């Protein structure tokens, strides 16, 4: 006999709740019913999943393996059900989105008229923060994060990636010339970041690797501030393509050292806590913005 989804759900619930009694209360069952379900599941799988005593429970190696995959299966089933339901009802309600100022201004705000036309019953609440936030503390449904994720307690969805370009204004280049080699950056004014030291590792190939560490003459905490400094001709900056593509196309900023660019792309992820009441609104927004972000995945580093 094969394991059923309700048996998987009870098994996962017991592990997440920490006890049979807590899982039984959550499911509206008796502890003996939950215990019988676990025993029936182990009998079907012909293996022990949990070593149970009167005082504690411990997952066996087989139990750890089964737990991770059972969780994934249940999440996939939930997502499938939500997608089917979404075809039968209109998304509505408040959707609270948090993103760093540059991403909000350049990759979300320009597309809001189209999104509002598609989903007029969703009320959007947009908040900008250049630092990582606590989603629950800030009452946020979706946070857009640029770069590698470190928090594994959240659900994450990749929205794509954005190249990084080394940029300077035509005015700066006219006054100081363009760098002709990576080492030549030592003779130029560099604009960097104060908050994340990794942002001061530019994606440039040289003899020792493909991440060139800079010593900025001017630093800022916000990418939008760095962008404006570069537009004013204050120095050379390294910025994401999604926030500078219009500047490049209009000639306000020029790519330099394109032939040395390592091709690194910043991951763009949406992170959120799973909530079935918000899932439809979240799904609609993520599908929409992921399609828009596809345009930023490709650019010509040679300028």
Report the range of poorest mean pLDDT among 28-42, 124-138, 163-177, 205-219: 124-138
Report the range of poorest mean pLDDT among 34-38, 79-83, 236-240: 79-83
What is the rounded average pLDDT for all residues in the chain?
Answer: 85
Q: Which two tokens stand for residue 221?
A: 């905490």
pLDDT digits (tens, 9 = 90+) for 182-209: 999 999 999 999 977 788 999 999 888 8
Percent of the chain with pLDDT over 90: 43
Identify the band that residue 279 occupies on the pLDDT scale cut at 50, 70 and 90: low
Residue 137: the pLDDT is 43
CATH 3.40.190.10 given to domain 162-264: yes
* pTM as predicted: 0.65
Residue 276: the pLDDT is 44
Of the candidates 147, 161, 170, 162, the one whose C-alpha atom is nearest the C-alpha of residue 256 is: 170
Identify the band that residue 152 occupies on the pLDDT scale cut at 50, 70 and 90: low
Top-confidence residue, 43 or 169: 169
Its CATH architecture, for the domain 93-161+266-295, is: 3-Layer(aba) Sandwich (3.40)
Q: Is 233 exposed, middle or buried (0-12, 13-18, 19+ CB in 10 A)?
A: middle
Specify the DSSP element, H or E, that contains 99. strand 93-99
Specify the DSSP element, H or E, that contains 109. none
Domain parsing of the chain, residue ranges: 5-86, 93-161+266-295, 162-264
pLDDT digits (tens, 9 = 90+) for 222-270: 899 999 999 999 999 999 999 999 999 999 999 999 999 999 998 998 8
- Contacts of residue 173, defined as CB under 8 A and 6 or more positions apart, other chains included, come to 254, 256
Residue 165: the pLDDT is 95
Q: 5-86, what's its fold? A: Arc Repressor Mutant, subunit A (1.10.10)
């Amino acid at each position: 006999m094969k394991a059923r989804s309700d048996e998987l759900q009870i098994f996962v619930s017991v592990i997440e709740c920490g006890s049979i009694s807590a899982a039984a209360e959550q499911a509206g069952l008796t502890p003996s019913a939950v215990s019988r379900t676990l025993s029936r599941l182990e009998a079907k799988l012909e293996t022990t999943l949990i070593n149970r005593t009167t005082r504690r429970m411990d997952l066996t190696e087989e139990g750890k393996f089964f737990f991770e995959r059972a969780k994934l299966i249940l999440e996939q089933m939930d997502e499938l059900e939500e997608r089917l339901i979404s075809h039968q009802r209109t998304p509505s309600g408040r959707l609270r989105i948090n993103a760093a100022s540059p991403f909000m201004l350049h990759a979300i705000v320009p597309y809001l008229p189209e999104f509002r036309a598609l989903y007029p019953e969703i009320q959007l609440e947009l908040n900008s923060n250049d630092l990582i936030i606590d989603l629950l503390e800030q009452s946020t449904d979706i946070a857009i994060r640029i770069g590698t994720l470190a928090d594994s307690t959240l659900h994450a969805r990749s929205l794509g990636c954005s190249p990084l370009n080394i940029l300077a204004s035509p005015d700066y280049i006219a006054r100081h010339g363009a760098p002709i080699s990576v080492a030549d950056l030592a003779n130029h004014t560099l604009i960097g970041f104060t908050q994340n030291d990794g942002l001061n590792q530019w994606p440039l190939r040289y003899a020792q690797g493909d991440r060139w560490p800079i010593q900025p003459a001017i630093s800022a905490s916000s990418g939008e501030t760095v962008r404006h400094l570069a537009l004013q001709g204050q120095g050379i900056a390294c910025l994401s393509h999604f926030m500078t593509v219009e500047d490049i196309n209009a000639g306000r900023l020029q790519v330099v050292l394109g032939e040395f660019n390592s091709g690194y792309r910043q991951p763009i992820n949406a992170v959120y806590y799973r909530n079935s009441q918000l899932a439809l609104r979240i799904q609609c927004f993520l599908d929409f913005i992921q399609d828009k972000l596809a345009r930023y995945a490709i650019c010509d580093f040679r300028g």
